[in-house]
Amino acid sequence: MFQIVTLSEIAGSKIVRGRFTSPFIQVTLEDVCKFASYEILAATMRYLILRGEPRDEEICHRFDIVSGTLYVPEWYLRRSLLLE
């Protein structure tokens, strides 16, 4: 059992363009070609969990959170249906 004591504000994203290292994200084998360099955390027969720097400049969503700044590629959010 747990109790929520406080809630943080909702953090909206800011759209930026550039080459930013992504956080660990789940991608398919076809998505690996979008990265110039990457670090693999885990792998299955269908997916990889990796983080890395994109091959080309791309549109990202920047989230300023307590632990730092998080850059998530727009193609990932669209494919994950988190952005419509």
Closest CA to 63 of 77, 79, 48: 77
The residues spanned by each domain of the chain are: 14-79
pLDDT tens track for 28-79: 999 999 999 999 999 999 999 999 999 999 999 999 888 889 999 999 999 8
Residue range 5-27: mean pLDDT, rounded: 90
Does the pLDDT value for residue 7 go beyond 80? Answer: yes
The whole model's pTM is what? 0.76
| 6 CB-contact burial (10 Å; exposed 0-12 / middle 13-18 / buried 19+) | exposed
pLDDT at residue number 10: 79
pLDDT at residue number 83: 63
pLDDT at residue number 4: 87
Does the pLDDT value for residue 18 go beyond 80? Answer: yes
